[in-house]
Structure 1
């Protein structure tokens, strides 16, 4: 961070070492809307970065109303914008651009997820901003990255999932490609962008210089696609949709139980498969040449899955899972939100945290991941339900703007 960087008024009191979060002292300006950029901002804020969320004064982030709502408020917004400060700023106007440059002087990281060229159009390219603040790091997330023939294409997470290869292998072979029930492409891009940001912050300690982190959604998806490329180029194999199995990896599937539910069993390692056979009271299966080795089980995958389901159908799900746990076989229910809320393990690890929301009251949200033993992350407050609620605190403390200047900027629709 820059040595002359100012503190906000309410951060003048230095926390004790026991209270200090690992990213305290890092200031982030978060631009963009919806998921990929804001999710990265949330991850940094969870560990103490001061994240200032910027919205145009006349156009709220659509996530404020996105998905399921209560009392007119989107229920994802308080989670995605937790621990952040909210300000408004019109970057389409010259005065707004000048204000942003002043903020950039007091900032470590800028997050933006616009279509490539947007920041340049506003005169806010990395080159211009880094001239003002050479230590500045810019996290840029887009559908296809900042270079290449597709760079100017619009690219939502769904397109990145499709072109990154994920949709092609998701679903069942007799049906059209399916989507995963969350915005996984945006989330993966945010995770990779955050890794890049932390890497750049560490490197900056040696070089004293910032840099650009260029994260493409399709590349973030592709990076998780295991060996599909050498499978194709070296073995002439194209991985296809296979439902709930992975070809050649058995047993690893869902299995129907006596009380008409499904459980997941993963016992593809030789030692674990032997324990599964003991749990099923069929230890002889572990020595059967059709199932004794990983390769043999892969060749006889369908037949083996039928044998296992014949056993699970004789037991209620809880009894089957109890027996599998006793024998050390990885297994579990397929959880709904109701199951998650009622599970004692989630509760024991603080994975559902209740935060007081000014309009919605006691608000439950996912806890912080990962768990740090000495300096864990923390959820201090939900996302602000009022746009620009921190305008005065930010503009007065960081830029020394007085009340008359703030009123003038409001009248001109700059903030």
Structure 2
């Protein structure tokens, strides 16, 4: 890692303690680590993060979810259920800027490690708390998973086709959203802490993020639409009601393309590409609102046209015309995509557990002067960095670490 402040990653010098498990908390930690924060992941000696064993693909007993969300982190073990473990943890807090935790609300308080105690030890500490429903409210003590958060927030109701069961994306969207909002909250709190002036200058604060609220925040105009008109928006299948044409269309070779031309200027270009210029002035399609009212009709016209050609031909015709178009890629298509390759969104991680290089997602967002990097994949074993971290930050000797390990404190 470069030492020159002008070229170091943006979060170089920020130290994060991560107590989160599975996806939401670790995703927050990963985003911070990608941009140079020293993220120290803490796992219980007898209960490592279950994410180590997650992932659908397997090779030699290894799964690869861990490779993505534990990258760039140092891993130590520590038992917070034991008094000596809590003492060591508070010593680590003295050296940290941020703590990320994703326990059920009240867990830290039961251990005597609530924010009052943490901020007394280190007034600058930012505590990011990720939970299913937030730290307050009648549901706060309930456990929460992404699938339930997506449903409770109203997001899942909008997915799928009218009249059918609301499916999920084959991803943990609620967890990832919470991790992103937590990272945003951490950066906001660090800025507030370090800006000049004000009665709270130099002090950290609590960042309270819930999975349900993270999903709810993405519901666009559904809430004001309901509050003013009583409209309960439902699922739209492959399209959004009122936005047309913007849908999935099948080409002659069986491949699906997304064609999005609901904006007036783009719709005119689509009509020219289809050699149907009369559609631009047709009262049914002349405006955005009119096309929304006659969505089925314009979709049928575009579908008939796209169905005459293979996907490559349709793509070339529309790109030349300046119409928004794109394929429905599988992950196999994604890893071959020259745009993602050129943008370094497919980066090699060396997985020490299997001794092989694996691809993982690149760093986002892209910063022009202080870009983030993937420096190493997730350590394969819990406690990989015990000697390094405890020696560097707390000055513990090898003999002391051996005794703590024997007592199962670390």
Whether TM exceeds 0.5 here: the answer is yes
**In structure 1, what is the equivalent of residue 198 of structure 2?**
none
**In structure 1, what is the equivalent of residue 385 of structure 2?**
390
C-alpha contact 2:7 2:369 (8 A) present in aligned 1: no
What's the CA shift for 1:32?
2.1
What's the CA shift for 1:18?
5.0
SS in 2 for 1:197: helix
The answer to whether structure 1 residue 337 and structure 2 residue 331 are counterparts is: yes
What's the CA shift for 1:124?
0.6
Q: Superposition pairs for residues 38-57 of structure 1, below 5 Å?
A: 38-57=26-45
- Which of 59, 64, 69 is the matching residue for 2:52? 64
The answer to whether structure 1 residue 357 and structure 2 residue 351 are counterparts is: yes
Structure 1 unaligned runs (5+)? 1-10
What's the CA shift for 1:305?
0.4
Q: Deviations over 1:254-284 (max 9, x none)?
A: 0010001110011000000000001111111
The answer to whether structure 1 residue 145 and structure 2 residue 134 are counterparts is: yes
What's the CA shift for 1:48?
0.2
CA distance in 1, matches of 2:89, 2:342: 43
The answer to whether structure 1 residue 311 and structure 2 residue 334 are counterparts is: no
**In structure 2, what is the equivalent of residue 83 of structure 1?**
72
**In structure 1, what is the equivalent of residue 100 of structure 2?**
111
Q: Deviations over 1:58-103 (max 9, x none)?
A: 1111111102222212211011000000000001111101110000
CA distance in 1, matches of 2:355, 2:64: 9
**In structure 1, what is the equivalent of residue 168 of structure 2?**
179
- Which of 156, 160, 171 is the matching residue for 1:167? 156
**In structure 2, what is the equivalent of residue 8 of structure 1?**
none
SS in 1 for 2:151: helix
Aligned CA RMSD, in angstroms, stands at 1.0
The answer to whether structure 1 residue 245 and structure 2 residue 234 are counterparts is: no
CA distance in 2, matches of 1:133, 1:324: 58
CA distance in 2, matches of 1:357, 1:98: 33
CA distance in 1, matches of 2:139, 2:163: 32
What's the CA shift for 1:174?
2.5
CA distance in 2, matches of 1:413, 1:79: 28
The answer to whether structure 1 residue 213 and structure 2 residue 213 are counterparts is: no
SS in 2 for 1:70: coil
**In structure 1, what is the equivalent of residue 267 of structure 2?**
273
CA distance in 2, matches of 1:208, 1:394: 25
Q: Deviations over 1:100-133 (max 9, x none)?
A: 0000000000000000000111111010011000
The answer to whether structure 1 residue 37 and structure 2 residue 37 are counterparts is: no
What's the CA shift for 1:163?
0.8
- Which of 216, 225, 240 is the matching residue for 2:219? 225
> What is the number of equivalent residue pairs in this alignment?
403
**In structure 1, what is the equivalent of residue 181 of structure 2?**
192
CA distance in 2, matches of 1:238, 1:189: 25
Scaled by the length of structure 1, what TM-score is found?
Answer: 0.96
* Consecutive aligned runs of 4 or more in structure 1 exceeding 3 Å deviation: none
Structure 2 unaligned runs (5+)? 196-200
Give the direction of change, closer, same or farther, for the CA distance of 1:252–1:360 in structure 2 (3 Å limit): farther
What's the CA shift for 1:289?
0.7
Q: Deviations over 1:116-171 (max 9, x none)?
A: 00011111101001100000000000000000111000111111111111100000
CA distance in 2, matches of 1:71, 1:155: 32
